[in-house]
Amino acid sequence: MSVVEIKVPDIGDFDAVEIIDVLVSVGDQISANQDIITLESDKAAMEIPSELAGTVVALNVAVGDKVSQGDVIMTLETAETSDTASAPVKAEQTADKSESAVAPTPAAKIDVSDADLHAQVLVLGSGPGGYTAAFRAADLGKKVIMVERHERIGGVCLNVGCIPSKALLHTAQVINEAAHIGAHGVTFSKPDIDIRKIAETKDGIVNKLTGGLTALAKQRKVTIVCGEGKFSSANSLQVETAEGMQTISFDNCIIAAGSRVTKIPVFPNDDPRMMDSTDALNLDDIPEKLLVIGGGIIGLEMATVYNALGSNITVVEMQDSLIPGADKDIVKPLLKRVQEHYEAIYLNTKVAKIEPEKAGLKVTFEGKDAPDTAVFDKILVAVGRSPNGKLINAEAAGVAVNDYGFIEVDQQMRTNVPHIFAIGDIVGQPMLAHKATHEGKVAAEVISGMKSAFDPMTIPSVAYTDPEVAWMGLTETEAKAQNVDYVKGAFPWAASGRSLSIGRDEGLTKALFDKDSGKLIGAGIVGPNAGELIAEAVLALEMGADAEDIGLTIHPHPTLSETLCFAAEMAEGNITDLMPPRKTLHSK
């Protein structure tokens, strides 16, 4: 017998990389090349294997530790030494999402009698996609078990995402409207902000929804198991619950394990003044000066909330526009409005360094128009989310996970293992709850023998900012890049009676139509309630409507909804509320 130290191998140009998962425990018998820890850099997640087989005698690391090449991970007792013990093993890493890991051979199916529970359909994760899949499968007659690592079902969306953020955004909207109505001759006194009461109201909404889901699960006889679930074979999952380890066997499985906030390793993330989106929703306090790193949807929504509650907001974005996925003309009214209300917006700028000081967090910027340094009371890091594919021991089930942590699926939501399906954030962009719910239904229906597929013509996106920004189908940027011959119909809300009556004339509705067929291929809306209005455009695209169909559809007047009708009339060239443009669908 020999005792050897297993060290961090050559991991390329990375240094002080954070450990996000330890995959073994003291006393475990492990095989050669078995993964023992997971590291996460700012570019990729990587699994580090053991070069040797043996028994784990001691662990020298824990989750959250930062390691570099040569650091000791664990001590291993081996039957014999090997020449490979001193040979570094380079961890595979890539920034190319399209390259998937080679799938290992699935483990043999375990005997059902060896498991604590058995499910015809096991759903790992209870977010909008997970609970939809579980409930649909149960409605189709399947015995369903749903595993959730948190105490309350509902996933990120209901607990620390979509729902609580929209509750806070409604509060912000009321505050902003009360201030804005002064221009109409009605003046309110400055609001008295009770953040504890605001937080209680938000939490009450969340509790009501998650409690409702629990009741629906009970009515459908869906068993909920609370604990951290990881695959132990192609037909079994081990769940670490408060009562101990449970093994659940299954005939079919739907992976709905979601995603987590992305952290930048070089930032002082252990400083309580550093926030992610979950921290921001807690409303611990209202900082006087708040820096939001990331000008995407999540960052700007939380900026809307904190600005309304009294914070001076600075936003820094690496790209040349806020909400980079949307067209610049749709984002422009939002940019103009927030520039009037926020302390600063820095585009084409990045944060080079954050230094904790007693007086605040000192930030060093890199960008032409940004200051060299500035000090903030708190910082919200909102640079995206990372899928949890590397955290569920998928390789034990033979499920292929690429280097980003995504699991590739077909239109039936099947992974490379035929009886294991995956849905939601973990299968790729866009990471949106409404995408996950439809994928969940497809997976449950396919398992139940129905002919079902996930084949949407578009998935809408919405930023619940002030004003809201929504888009679907092709953006103009995409249409130009793909050399699509299109005609644009754009209607400014400054010509909308309804928009003027509510004092919000900055909005815009635009629609893109295929030049040959006249069919709708894309739309973008900015203004109050844009997220509600975009649904008509989604339906029109799915139904194959053209500009004439939309223009001939009688919309109620005066409404914001008729702006889509007017945009279609602009493309047709028969609008009367404005002068028609020169280029229309019928111009040569």
- In three-state form (DSSP H/G/I as H, E/B as E, the rest C), the secondary structure along 6-26 is EECCCCCCCCCEEEEEECCCC
Residues 6 or more apart whose CB falls under 8 angstroms from that of 16 comprise 66, 67, 68, 265
Residues 6 or more apart whose CB falls under 8 angstroms from that of 549 comprise 540
Helix (H, G, I), strand (E, B) or coil at 397: helix
Classify residue 258 by burial, with Cβ atoms within 10 Å: 0-12, 13-18, 19+.
buried
User: What are the backbone dihedrals phi and psi of residue 204, each rounded to the nearest 5 degrees, phi first?
Assistant: -65, -40
CB atoms within 10 A of CB 419: 17
Specify the amino acid at residue 412.
Answer: Q
Q: 337: which 2 tokens?
A: 């409005």
Q: 136: which 2 tokens?
A: 């649909």
Rounded CA-CA distance 465/122 in Å is: 37
* Catalytic annotation present for 150: no
Q: Which residues pair with 376 in a beta bridge?
A: 361
Rounded CA-CA distance 403/99 in Å is: 7
Q: Which of 341, 419, 555, 557 is catalytic?
A: 557
Rounded CA-CA distance 350/48 in Å is: 30
Q: Report strand pairing: 244-255 vs 54-59.
A: unpaired
Q: Apex CA 125: angle with CA 122 and CA 128, to 5°?
A: 110
Alpha helices in 254-360 (DSSP H): 277-281, 297-309, 328-341
Evaluate whether 147 touches 229 at the Cβ level (below 8 Å): yes
Residues annotated as catalytic are 557
